[in-house]
Amino acid sequence: MAERAYWCETLLIDGESTAGVRVEVGEDGRIADLTPGCAPRPRDVRLGTVLPGMANAHSHAFHRALRGRTHGAGGDFWQWREAMYLAAGRLNPDRYYALARAVFAEMLVSGWTAVGEFHYVHHRPDGSRYPREHAMELALAAAARDVGIRLVLLDTLYLAGGIGRPLAPEQRAFDDGSAAGWLERWRSLQDALGTDPGCRVSLGAAIHSVRAVPTAAMREVLAGLPSTAPLHIHLSEQPQENADCLAEYGLTPTGVLADLGALSTRLSVVHATHLTNADIALIGSAGATVVMCPTTEADLGDGIGPARRLADAGASIALGSDQNAVVDPLLEMRGLEAGERLASGERGRFDPSALLRAASANGYASLGLGDNGLRPGALCDLVEVSMDSVRTVGSVPAQVPLTATASDVLRVIVHGVIVADSGRLVCANGGATDRLPQTLLRDALTVLDNTPPTRHDPSGDRA
């Protein structure tokens, strides 16, 4: 017997418009039954045009503090990164909870129903531990639970300030000392988070990058992690990373991963912007996922990654918001296709159904959440979008990924429950809250702005 049911005027199933679909939800928050071509029943919640839930496969929540504050002086990724370190130095568990809660709320009302948080700010700015074990990680988990978004905490190993270089003073909060130390903390964190059969908060893993983790440490992590844990890594975001890697190892970063046996369907590589033909073939033949972050890659001037070539080689393409300068799954979809069009001079590099698959099924799979297929047994995560806004009126539903924005997101359903409605969070009792995401963000940013940054010795190495 279903606990509740939603009737969708139009549901995009595998990117195709299906009319009159009744979605029954079981006690476990999963789809109990799905019936197309039917009329609504009296107690059904009626929805309009509905997309599958979308997974933000790569986020750094605290980077949201930089939005609108780092665009005036030009520069590149490396200059922007200095501002990022200052923001990290203002965090503690309470401040990070408040900021993450606000950012996760913004994601939720924008249509992201799950997030992979690539988390490396583990400790105090000077590297010392907080009195409460896993304080920063538990703050992120609490923030996600409070707003109702699915969280996969991609706890990250970060050991070096560059290939063959020690951590800089401003990177000490990221350090666990060794791969063994990180693995010990990761296992303890798994116990602290507990088991969640509903997949609302779960633990994954990340290696920050080839430049930040020596190969011996990567090998130790690959051997020590359970095979079921999703594993992510930044890859070839900047040409400098490739040059340093070639100088040290005689291999590209992709070549290093291949040499370690790390390339597999379990691995997600993030950005993959500056790849050789051989890199593309290696990633594709391994069936790895590539998480593209089009709005960040554009904002930081990183470049346009070879998404179409990677997909043609066999890789799955997922999407993320990365630095959260933009929080909008629909704009990430559009950005993926726009970058391809600009690079190739051709339209339709990814059709709308492929864009939606990147944002939904591929992102969920990347985070170890299954493929989010709209079928019995799958997680019941749905996003209703308006078809009569100034942006979407006249669109056929299947092409909404190329016309709508987060402003068109109406009701958002996670685990079978409405958690957001027209830009507002929804309380457990079904009522809209007075706490808008923008209010939460303003309050969290005000606290951070009034917190002096941690001062570091500028003589330390930077990378």
Q: Please give the pLDDT value at position 83.
A: 87
pLDDT by residue (tens digit) across 211-267? 999 999 999 999 999 999 999 999 999 999 999 999 999 999 999 999 999 999 999
Q: How many whole angstroms separate alpha carbon 433 and alpha carbon 202?
A: 26
User: What long-range pairs does 434-438 form, CB within 8 A, spacing at least 24?
Assistant: 435/105, 437/102, 437/105, 437/106, 437/108, 437/109, 438/106
Query: Which parts of the chain have pLDDT scores under 50?
Result: 1, 432, 456-463
Q: Is residue 385 within 8 Å of 392, Cβ to Cβ?
A: yes
CATH 2.30.40.10 for the 4-52+376-422 domain, yes or no: yes
Rounded to 5, what percent of the chain is helix, strand, coil?
Answer: 40, 20, 40
CATH number given to 54-367: 3.20.20.140
Q: Is residue 383 within 8 Å of 52, Cβ to Cβ?
A: yes
pLDDT by residue (tens digit) across 11-64? 999 999 999 999 999 999 999 999 999 999 999 999 999 999 999 999 999 999
Domain boundaries, the chain: 4-52+376-422, 54-367
User: Which residues are part of the catalytic machinery?
Assistant: 271, 322
Q: Please give the pLDDT value at position 3.
A: 72
Same fold, 4-52+376-422 and 54-367: no
Q: Report yes or no on whether pTM surpasses 0.75.
A: yes
Q: Please give the pLDDT value at position 146.
A: 94
CA distances from 355 to 300, 306, 311, 360 (A): 22, 15, 12, 9
Q: How many whole angstroms separate alpha carbon 59 and alpha carbon 38?
A: 39
